[in-house]
């Protein structure tokens, strides 16, 4: 159950960081309303709180989150921007996920 909870927290943190960053990106790059900037900033702040819900140490949490971020960023770009991941994006993502599994989920 603890494993499932931590994965959900990583996924929610990823949505907050990527979604918030995307709103800021739209404000800056596509001249969207300042509301995008404000909403993006608030969601990015929420990301910091969500990440702190993990039970491990800061360094291990943020290192593991990096692997989740890689995969989620590519999925976001694929769905939101029409980016087409290639085989090397997929291979790299799988390597990152394997690495974070070793970092975060290996018994100590």
pLDDT at 108 over 90: no
3-state helix, strand, coil in the chain (%, to 5): 80, 0, 20
CA distances from 100 to 19, 26, 70, 75, 88 (A): 22, 30, 11, 18, 18
The model's pTM is 0.87
Structure tokens at 91: 């291979």
Contact (CB, 8 A) for 10 and 67: no
Contact (CB, 8 A) for 70 and 76: no
pLDDT at 43 over 90: yes
Rounded distance, CA 51 to CA 89, Å? 25
Compute CA 92 distance to the chain's CA centroid, rounded to the nearest angstrom. Answer: 16
3-33 pLDDT, tens per residue?
Answer: 899 999 999 999 999 999 999 999 999 999 9
* Domain range enclosing 90: 1-105
Average pLDDT over residues 53-59: 92
Provide the domain count of the chain: 1
């Amino acid at each position: 159950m603890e494993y499932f909870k931590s994965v959900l927290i990583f996924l929610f943190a990823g949505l907050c960081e990527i979604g918030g960053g995307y709103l800021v990106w739209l404000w800056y790059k596509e001249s969207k309303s300042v509301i995008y900037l404000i909403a993006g900033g608030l969601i990015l702040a929420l990301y910091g709180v969500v990440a702190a819900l993990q039970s491990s140490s800061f360094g291990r949490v943020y290192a593991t989150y990096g692997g989740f971020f890689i995969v989620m960023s590519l999925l976001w770009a694929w769905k939101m921007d029409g980016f087409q991941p290639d085989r090397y994006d997929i291979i790299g993502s799988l390597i990152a996920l394997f690495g974070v599994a070793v970092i975060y989920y290996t018994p100590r």
